[in-house]
Amino acid sequence: MTKRILVVEDNDLNRKLFCDVLVACGFDVEPVADGHQALERARGFHPNLVVMDIQLQDVSGLDLISSMKADAVLGDVPVLAVTAYAGKGDEERIRETGAEGYLSKPVSIGPFMAAVRGLIDQVA
């Protein structure tokens, strides 16, 4: 069965890049541009992984991760957090919120796919 990945990213170019790469690697991908729709879309899509931008325009990615981890349906879905604002202590704070993976932007394809496969393999 094809693994499903929800991509929550409000930047059009980044969202398209993530989705195109994941589709080319054989994943079923659901893009979400509006963070307010992320949890509802996740519940309907039943992802095996969520790629979550932390700096969304309309809602904090950290808040979304916290909400996902507290959700009975979504709590076990691993999250790969990506952020352009990687400062001292950010990775630790993001992981404490519940993200299993962390990458800083700009994201290179090799490390991105290694992180995706590592997290997907954990739930396989």
The class level of CATH for 4-123 reads alpha beta
Query: In whole angstroms, what is the distance from residue 119 CA to residue 113 CA?
Result: 10
pLDDT for residue 111 is more than 90: yes
pLDDT at 88: 81
Rounded to 5°, the CA angle 40-92-60 comes to 30
pLDDT at 2: 93
pLDDT at 1: 80
pLDDT in tens, 11-66: 999 999 999 999 999 999 999 999 999 999 999 999 999 999 999 998 999 999 99
pLDDT in tens, 72-110: 999 999 999 999 877 788 899 999 999 999 999 999 999
Contact 101, 95 (CB under 8 A): no
Contact 105, 85 (CB under 8 A): no
Query: Domain residue spans in the chain?
Result: 4-123
